[in-house]
A and B are shown apart, each in its own frame.
Chain A
Amino acid sequence: MITAERKPIDEIRAMVAPYKRVLVLGCGSCVAECAAGGEKETGMLSSTLRMANKMEGKDVLIEEKTLDRQCVKDFVILLDDIVDQYDAVLSLGCGAGVQAVAEMFSEIPVLPALNTEFLGETRDQGYWVENCLGCGDCMLDDFGGVCPLARCSKQLFNGPCGGSREGKCEVNPEIPCAWQAIIDRLDRFGSLDRLEQIYPPKDWSRKQGGGPRKIMREDQRR
Chain B
Amino acid sequence: MKDVSRLKRVLDQGGFAVTAECGPPKGADAEAILKKAELLRSTVDAVNVTDNQTAIVRMSSLAACSLLKSAGLDPVLQVVVRDRNRIALQSDILGASALGIRNILCLSGDHQSFGNQPQAVGVFDLDSIQFVQVARTMRDKGTILGGEALTKAPELFIGAAANPFGDPFAFRVVRLAKKVAAGAEFIQTQCIYNLDRFEKWMAMSRDRGLTEKTCILGGVTPLKSAGMARYMKKKVAGMDVPDEVIRRMESVPAKKQAEEGLKICVETIQRLKEIPGVRGVHIMAIEWEDKVAEIAEKAGLLPRPVISKQ
Contact = CB atoms under 8 A, between A and B. Distances in A.
Interface of A: 153-167, 170-172, 177, 180, 183, 195-196, 198-202, 204
A164 B239 CA distance: 10
Contact of A158 (B111, B129, B167): B129
B124 interface: yes
A192 to B, nearest CB: 9
B217 to A, nearest CB: 16
B166 A153 contact: no
B86 A165 contact: no
B177 interface: yes
Contacts of A177: 167
Contact of A154 (B111, B177, B178): B111
B275 interface: no
Contacts of A180: 167-168
B130 A198 contact: yes
A161 B190 CA distance: 12
B175 interface: yes
Contacts of A158: 127-130, 175, 178
Contact of A165 (B108, B122, B128, B166): B166
Contact of B168 (A157, A183, A199): A183
Given A154-B82, A180-B167, A198-B129, 18 more contacts: A154-B111, A156-B128, A158-B129, A158-B175, A159-B175, A160-B171, A161-B163, A161-B238, A163-B163, A164-B166, A164-B167, A166-B167, A170-B111, A196-B174, A196-B177, A198-B133, A198-B182, A201-B86
A85 B127 CA distance: 54
B126 interface: yes
B181 interface: yes
B177 to A, nearest CB: 7
Contacts of B238: 161-163, 165, 170
A183 B178 contact: no
11 contacts: A153-B113, A154-B108, A155-B124, A155-B127, A159-B175, A160-B167, A162-B166, A162-B237, A167-B167, A198-B130, A201-B125
Contacts of A167: 167
A204 B28 CA distance: 35
Given A165-B238, A201-B126, A156 B166 contact: no
Contacts of A154: 82, 108-109, 111, 122, 124, 127
A162 B111 CA distance: 12
Interface residues on B, range: 35 or more
Interface of B: 82, 86, 108-109, 111, 113-114, 122, 124-130, 133-134, 145, 161-163, 165-168, 171, 174-175, 177-178, 181-182, 190, 237-238
B166 A160 contact: yes
A154 B134 CA distance: 18
Contacts of A183: 168, 171
Contacts of B165: 162
A159 B163 CA distance: 12
B190 A153 contact: no
A214 B190 CA distance: 45
Given A170-B238, A171-B111, A201 B167 contact: no
A162 B125 contact: no
Contacts of B175: 158-160
Contact of A162 (B86, B145, B163, B181): B163
A44 B84 CA distance: 45
A157 B86 CA distance: 15
Contacts of B145: 201
A190 to B, nearest CB: 15
Contacts of A157: 127, 129-130
The list of the 6 closest CB pairs from A to B, nearest first, reads: A162-B163, A170-B237, A162-B238, A163-B237, A162-B166, A158-B129
B214 to A, nearest CB: 15
A221 to B, nearest CB: 35
A161 B174 contact: no
Contact of B190 (A155, A162, A172): A162
B130 A201 contact: yes
Nearest to A204: B125
A153 B111 contact: yes
Contacts of A162: 161-163, 165-166, 190, 237-238
B44 to A, nearest CB: 23
Nearest to A172: B113
A171 B133 contact: no
B228 to A, nearest CB: 19
Contacts of B163: 161-163
Contact of B166 (A161, A198, A199): A161
Contact of B108 (A161, A195, A201): A161
A183 to B, nearest CB: 6
Contacts of B178: 158, 196, 198
